[in-house]
Amino acid sequence: MRGGGGGKYGDYLIFRDSFYHLIEHKNLYALYTDWGGYFLYTPTFALSFGVFSSLPDYLGLTAWNLLNAVSFLLAIYYLPHFTRLQKGVIILIAGQALMTAVQNNQSNALTAALLIFGYGCLEKNKPSAAALSIAAAAYIKLFGVVGFALFLLYPRFWRNCGYAAGWLVAFFLAPLLVIDWAHYQFLGRSYVQILLTEHGANYGISAMGWLHTWFGWEGDKKLFVLAGAAVFMSPFLKTGSYAAADFRRLLFAALLIWVVIFNHKGQSSMFIMPMTGVALWFMTVPKNWLNIAFLAAALLFSSWSSTDLFPRWFRREYLTKYAVKAVPVTLIWLKITVDLWRHKIGGKPPDRPTD
């Protein structure tokens, strides 16, 4: 099944038809009236979606949503240094955001799962598997490439970078199985152009969107993202803390939040990543009144604000219009950054993993 309108699963139809557009040597990034939306992913993602595109919609959509949900749950239970009970609490904290992501038929839960698997593999001294997982995330959502920053925290950095380069090249070359180099170059130029166009037109549910709607901020987005990147990377200067498991975990939590709150295309369905970051943060830090208050605000406004807990008109006129979802997770990200610099998180951590 390839025709029809978007309906409630228009994003899936965009993904589904991208495979056919790829093998038919069409422009992946043109506006197709069948579903009235743009494809904003890599040609590699379009190729990989052939597994689902070959199925009838009711089976393909079900399999796609199951892949997203199950991979996320498995990734959480793959995390080291947590008890099964703690992992269950993490799922409860991120649960509503997971349902929002899956109900929108998006790829965000799968991207989050791949980043979590990547972190877990690094903690368990499986760098090649970590590189594969993070590279796969990057070819679904470009911001997934930020996950490679974690390599700085672990032994044999350049060897691990070699694994990453190998997997990135392999994923890059994969579409050449079905298209020629000239068309691939054309798709690359089209992809860059549509990303630049989208970047100029949106603030999204992000820190930028929050500042824009609350205070009328209209500064340079690129400089804003660069400033955010500098703040995010600043705790990496504390090389003496790399041996602490809680330090590494909190940096990963900050990463999951950062990739969304500094994303001009931030959407409600993407908050599975920052809410997972919030969950990892909360299960690591002391359970004092301030941290509990931050968690409550994130649950209320960054997660449950997409539900009928709030009337539709209130969600539309206030929560969505003023990018309220981004506020609690942004404040938590700032608090994580401060705590990382102070490094007063948790008790005595486990030893650093070694080769």
* Burial label, 354 (beta-carbon count in 10 A; 0-12, 13-18, 19+): exposed
pLDDT band, very low/low/confident/very high, at 349 (cuts 50, 70, 90): very low
Average pLDDT over residues 270-275: 94
Structure confidence at residue 202 (pLDDT):
66
Residue 42: closest CA among 195, 165, 162, 166: 195
Structure confidence at residue 267 (pLDDT):
81
Structure confidence at residue 4 (pLDDT):
41
* Burial label, 185 (beta-carbon count in 10 A; 0-12, 13-18, 19+): exposed
- Give the distance from CA 274 to its chain's centroid: 8
Please list, in sequence order, all residues whose beta carbon lies within 8 angstroms of the beta carbon of residue 315, skipping any fewer than 6 positions away: 305, 306
Structure confidence at residue 33 (pLDDT):
59
The tokens describing 312, both together, are: 């539709």
Q: What is the pLDDT of residues 160-200, one digit of tens each?
A: 999 999 999 999 999 999 999 999 999 999 999 888 876 55
d(CA 78, CA 91): 12
Q: What is the pLDDT of residues 102-152, one digit of tens each?
A: 988 889 999 999 999 999 999 999 999 999 999 999 999 989 999 999 999
- Amino acid (one-letter) located at 167: W
Query: Which parts of 128-228 are beta strand (E)?
Result: none
Structure confidence at residue 135 (pLDDT):
97
Domain ranges in the chain?
7-342
Structure confidence at residue 265 (pLDDT):
73
d(CA 189, CA 216): 33
Q: What is the pLDDT of residues 28-45, one digit of tens each?
A: 998 875 666 788 899 999
Q: What is the pLDDT of residues 300-327, one digit of tens each?
A: 998 888 777 778 878 787 777 778 888 9
Q: What is the pLDDT of residues 67-105, one digit of tens each?
A: 999 999 999 999 999 999 999 999 999 999 999 999 888
* Residue 244: Cβ within 10 Å count: 20
* Residue 83: Cβ within 10 Å count: 9
Residue 49: closest CA among 144, 175, 166, 167: 175
